[in-house]
């Protein structure tokens, strides 16, 4: 059992981003939307989109890394290629449908087709219900929901038969603990959007599923904890937050052919937090 010291239970090498690939995505061509990450004081901190991109490349996929932040998206590509993987950067603001259409078409052209798409887009503004404004609400819903609809819509036209979609949601879709109703509402809508995509894709054998992470140690998670220090001080499963690599492995399973009969499903990656395991 490869774990760290007490307080790091279940922290196997896969949870830390270590270990060789097993060829589970050999020959697959995958677009990851939101493959960059926000800036963080800790250069080793990894976000969900970057971890997903790196893991997929390690598993043999050619990965188109899309992001509106050129530098961050390009850094993900550089990490992939430094490991001997195949990565390509595509710039896109996913709230602009014309850019989304171009992104999907460019990714398909660069990779020679698309077998899978991961949609990892999201912001949180830290606003509660009492200080929410129309503008702040619309901004979060535009990025966290409308952009996903644009990507799913255009991905359906480019995905090969037998392909798969994975949406990245959040445990905030089930619990109001983030105290950010715009974020929670947008994340709660993603499983419904996923089911619509699964229904539309089913005749062509295209699956769509959701990964809903709990408290994860990412740059975005650290920013949330800085705004609200009690976020990560509550009792946590295994006495720790999850890692972006654990989210990435869940997405890997759902995008892979190992999940061939899993469709329209919301996979919660929270160590059992929603089930009340942590006390």
pLDDT of residue 229 exceeding 90, the answer is no
Is residue 37 in some structural domain?
Answer: yes
Q: Give the whole-angstrom CA distance, residue 153 versus residue 210.
A: 16
Residue 62: DSSP 8-state = E
Specify the pLDDT at position 3. Answer: 39
Is residue 235 in some structural domain?
Answer: yes
Specify the pLDDT at position 6. Answer: 39
Specify the pLDDT at position 1. Answer: 31
* Confidence category of residue 123, pLDDT binned at 50, 70, 90: very high
Q: Give the whole-angstrom CA distance, residue 150 versus residue 95.
A: 8
Residue 41's Cβ-count burial label (10 Å; 0-12, 13-18, 19+) is exposed
Give the DSSP per-residue string, 159-171: EEEEEEEEEE--G
Of 19-28, 34-43, 124-133, 179-188, least confident by mean pLDDT is 34-43
Count CA atoms closer than 13 A to 95's CA, side-chain side: 11
Specify the pLDDT at position 81. Answer: 97
Q: Give the whole-angstrom CA distance, residue 275 versus residue 133.
A: 33
Residue 185's Cβ-count burial label (10 Å; 0-12, 13-18, 19+) is middle
29-33 and 159-168 strand pairing: unpaired
In terms of residue numbers, what domain contains 71? 26-269
**For all residues of the chain together, what is the average pLDDT?**
92
Is residue 275 in some structural domain?
Answer: no
Q: What is the pLDDT of residues 46-82, one digit of tens each?
A: 999 999 999 999 999 999 999 999 999 999 999 999 9
Specify the pLDDT at position 77. Answer: 98
88 noted as active-site residue: no
* Confidence category of residue 235, pLDDT binned at 50, 70, 90: confident
Is residue 8 in some structural domain?
Answer: no
Is residue 18 in some structural domain?
Answer: no
Residues 37-53, mean pLDDT to the nearest whole number: 84
Residues 219-239, mean pLDDT to the nearest whole number: 74
Is residue 94 in some structural domain?
Answer: yes
Specify the pLDDT at position 5. Answer: 39
Helices (H), 25-96: 48-58, 70-82
* Confidence category of residue 4, pLDDT binned at 50, 70, 90: very low
- Catalytic, out of 83, 88, 183, 261: 183
Higher-confidence position of 2 and 133 = 133
Of 106-120, 168-182, 224-238, 260-274, least confident by mean pLDDT is 224-238
pLDDT of residue 10 exceeding 50, the answer is yes
* Confidence category of residue 157, pLDDT binned at 50, 70, 90: very high
Is residue 163 in some structural domain?
Answer: yes
How many domains are there within the chain? 1
Of 51-55, 68-72, 154-158, 237-241, least confident by mean pLDDT is 237-241
Is residue 220 in some structural domain?
Answer: yes
Task: Specify the CATH number for the domain of residue 229.
Answer: 3.40.50.720
* Confidence category of residue 121, pLDDT binned at 50, 70, 90: very high
Specify the pLDDT at position 232. Answer: 65
């Amino acid at each position: 059992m490869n774990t760290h010291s007490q307080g790091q239970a279940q922290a196997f090498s896969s949870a830390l981003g270590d270990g060789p690939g097993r060829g589970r995505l050999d020959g697959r061509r995958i677009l990851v939307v939101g493959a960059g990450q926000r800036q963080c004081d800790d250069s080793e901190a990894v976000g969900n989109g970057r971890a997903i991109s790196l893991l997929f490349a390690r598993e043999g996929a050619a990965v188109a890394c899309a992001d509106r932040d050129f530098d961050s998206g390009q850094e993900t590509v550089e990490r992939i290629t430094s490991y001997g993987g195949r990565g390509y950067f595509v710039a896109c603001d996913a709230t602009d449908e014309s850019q989304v259409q171009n992104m999907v078409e460019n990714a398909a052209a660069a990779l020679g087709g698309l077998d899978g798409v991961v949609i990892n887009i999201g912001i949180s503004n830290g606003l509660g219900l009492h200080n929410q404004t129309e503008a702040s609400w619309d901004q979060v819903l535009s990025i966290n929901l409308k952009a996903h609809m644009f990507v799913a819509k255009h991905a359906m036209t480019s995905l090969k038969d037998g392909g798969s979609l994975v949406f990245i949601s959040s445990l905030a879709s089930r619990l109001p603990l983030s105290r950010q109703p715009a974020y929670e509402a947008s994340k709660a809508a993603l499983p419904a959007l996923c089911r619509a995509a699964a229904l539309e894709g089913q005749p062509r054998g295209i699956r769509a599923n959701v990964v809903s992470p709990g408290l994860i140690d990412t740059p975005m998670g650290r920013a949330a904890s800085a705004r609200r220090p009690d976020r990560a001080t509550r009792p946590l499963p295994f006495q720790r937050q999850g890692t972006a690599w654990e989210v990435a492995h869940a997405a890997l399973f759902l995008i892979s052919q190992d999940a061939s009969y899993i469709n329209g499903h919301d996979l919660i990656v929270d160590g059992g937090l929603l089930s009340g395991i942590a006390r």
